[in-house]
Structure 1
Amino acid sequence: MIADKIKRLREASHLTQTELAKKLNITRSSVNAWEMGISVPSTTYLIELALLFHVSTDFLLGLEQNNTIDISTLSEREAILVYELVDYFTSQKKDVVD
């Protein structure tokens, strides 16, 4: 559900509902309504949320299960380290399942 994803992303970013609302120039009650599933963000706010949290709008809408990470500002060595960490975590999950 989009409500759960917004809340998880907000909390992972260490933002309160009020802080997220200020970043989006909306009321805290609007953010609360999204997280409670009472309403859903408009297309404009979906895009803003995706940009803010570095995820795709498809991810927010539940159309894709993959997260993306923007590594465009990292050096080549830093990007390699990120890929190595992903490979490591993926292999650890496979070991647990096997």
Structure 2
Amino acid sequence: MTIDFFGEKLKAIRKSKRLTQLDLAIRLNVSKGTVSAYEQGLSYPSLETLVKICDILDTSADYLLGISDDLPFKMGALTDEQMESILQFVSLIERSNKNLK
């Protein structure tokens, strides 16, 4: 089992909640650079921090770790298919931006 997509999923959910990296960092009591490292896959949170991330973002560790593809939160009145499309779109844009750099 790998957690290759942890960073992408974390970033997409954070953005869907309209939080900046700094907003999340403050709520986690870590630096903005730490959140950035999580999202880039350069490091991973401790179990204690992972629990806090899940609580703040109203999501599950199973989703973030790739154990489950079920989105455990709702964005307005969107269907599961619409939410998945939005998260895939955000991920696609992020990958595209990386390739442009």
Give the structure 2 partner of residue 11 of structure 1. Answer: 15
Structure 1, unmatched stretches of 5+, are 71-81, 91-98
TM-score (norm 2): 0.67
CA RMSD of superposed structures (Å): 2.1
TM-score (norm 1): 0.69
Give the structure 2 partner of residue 2 of structure 1. Answer: 6
> 1:46-91 CA distances to partner (integer Å, 9 max, x unpaired)?
1111111111111110000111238xxxxxxxxxxx6xx649x68x
- Give the structure, 1 or 2, with the largest relative contact order (CA under 8 Å, sep 6 or more): 2
Are residues 1:62 and 2:66 paired?
A: yes
Once residues 37 and 51 of structure 2 are traced to their aligned partners in structure 1, the CA distance between those partners, rounded to angstroms, is 18
Q: How many residues align?
A: 76
* Match of residue 37, structure 2, among 33, 36, 40: 33
Give the structure 2 partner of residue 95 of structure 1. Answer: none
Structure 2, unmatched stretches of 5+, are 83-101
Rg larger in structure: 1
Moved over 2 A (4+): none
**Structure 2 matches for 1:74-85, cutoff 5 A?**
none
